[in-house]
C-alpha cells in the first residue's frame, strides 16, 4: 500500500497553510486529524520552501518543530522531519522522528549525509538544483533528473548512508516548470527502479493551472488525490499531501481496482 505523509507546516509563511498551526495545541490537534484520516507519517516542517521564502535559522526552526515532534512521538504518531538543516534533523530523530525529508537531498547542508548515516533512519532525497526560485533548464527532464538522482544516491552511499534508507523525490516545482512536472509524473516508472519514490505534488501551482483563476487552494485537493492514485499505479512508495482524507480515498479506490476488490469478498 502506498504510504501517505500528511503535511504539517508549523510556519508563518508556507504557501498553503502558513500560520494556521503555529501553536503547539493546534499543531498536535491537526496532526491527530491527519492521522485519523489515514496518514502513515506526519511530515513536520518549520521552514517554508515556497518561491520567495527566506531561509530560517536552524535554532528558530528547532524552536518551531521540536515541541511538535516530541508531542507526536510521545503519543505514538510516526513523524517525518521536513528540513534542510542537519542539526534540526538530528535533534528531531533524537525526539523520535523516523524519516528525514530533505528538499535539497543533503546538498544544502553538507552534514546532512553524516546525520542520515549515523542515525540510520529513512532519508528522502529530493532532486535539487536550487530552491523553488531556481531557473528551470532541461533538455530531457526525466533523463536528467534520473541521472542526477542516481549520482546523488551513489554519493550518499559513499558517506555511509545505506541503500535501503534512501527514498527519492523528483522535486516537483523545484527548478521545474509545469511541463517539467507533468513529464516527471508521466515518467515516474523510470525513477522507481532507482529507489522507493515519494511524490510531493499537493496543492502546487502547476495543479492550480487546471482550475479557474483565483480558485481557492483547497480546490487543488481533488486533482492532488488523482495524482496520488496515478502515482501509486506507477509504483510510487508514497505521496506527501495536505488533504489526507481525499488521497486516502483515492488510494483505496486504486487498491480495490488493483486487487479486484479482494477484501470485499463475502
What positions carry a catalytic annotation?
Answer: 204, 240
DSSP the chain: --EEEEEEE-SS--TTTTTTT-SHHHHHHHHHHHHHHT-SEEEEESS--STTPPP--HHHHHHHHHHHHHHHHHTT--EEEE-S-HHHHHHHHHTT--EEEETTTTSSSTTHHHHHHHH--EEEEE--SSSTTSPP--SSHHHHHHHHHHHHHHHHHHTT--GGGEEEE--TTSS--HHHHHHHHHTGGGTTTTS-BEE--TT-HHHHTTS-TT--GGGGHHHHHHHHHHHHHTT-SEEEES-HHHHHHHHHHHHHHHHTSGGG--
**Grid cell in block for residue 50:** 515556497
Amino acid at each position: 500500500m502506498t504510504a501517505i505523509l500528511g503535511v504539517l507546516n508549523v510556519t508563518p509563511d508556507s504557501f498553503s497553510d502558513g500560520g494556521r498551526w503555529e501553536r503547539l495545541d493546534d499543531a498536535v490537534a491537526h496532526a491527530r486529524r491527519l492521522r485519523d484520516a489515514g496518514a502513515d507519517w506526519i511530515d513536520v516542517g518549520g521552514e517554508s520552501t515556497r518561491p520567495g521564502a527566506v531561509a530560517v535559522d536552524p535554532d528558530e526552526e528547532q524552536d518551531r518543530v521540536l515541541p511538535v515532534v516530541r508531542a507526536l512521538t510521545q503519543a505514538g504518531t510516526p513523524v517525518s522531519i521536513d528540513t534542510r538543516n542537519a542539526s534540526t534533523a538530528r535533534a528531531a530523530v533524537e525526539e523520535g522522528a523516523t524519516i528525514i525529508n530533505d528538499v535539497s537531498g543533503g546538498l544544502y547542508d553538507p552534514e546532512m549525509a553524516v546525520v542520515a548515516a549515523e542515525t540510520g533512519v529513512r532519508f528522502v532525497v529530493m532532486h535539487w538544483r536550487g530552491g523553488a526560485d531556481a531557473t528551470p533548464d532541461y533538455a530531457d527532464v526525466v533523463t536528467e533528473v534520473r541521472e542526477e538522482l542516481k549520482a546523488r544516491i551513489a554519493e550518499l552511499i559513499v558517506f555511509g548512508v545505506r541503500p535501503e534508507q534512501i527514498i527519492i523525490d523528483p522535486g516537483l516545482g523545484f527548478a521545474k516548470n509545469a511541463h517539467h512536472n507533468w513529464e516527471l509524473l508521466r515518467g515516474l516508472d523510470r525513477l522507481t527502479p532507482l529507489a522507493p519514490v515519494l511524490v510531493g505534488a499537493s496543492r502546487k501551482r502547476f495543479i492550480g493551472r487546471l482550475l479557474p483563476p483565483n480558485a481557492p487552494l483547497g480546490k487543488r485537493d481533488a486533482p492532488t488525490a488523482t495524482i496520488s492514485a496515478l502515482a501509486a499505479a506507477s509504483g510510487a512508495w508514497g505521496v506527501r499531501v495536505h488533504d489526507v482524507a481525499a488521497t486516502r480515498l483515492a488510494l483505496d479506490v486504486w487498491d480495490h481496482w488493483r486487487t479486484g476488490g479482494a477484501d470485499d469478498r463475502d
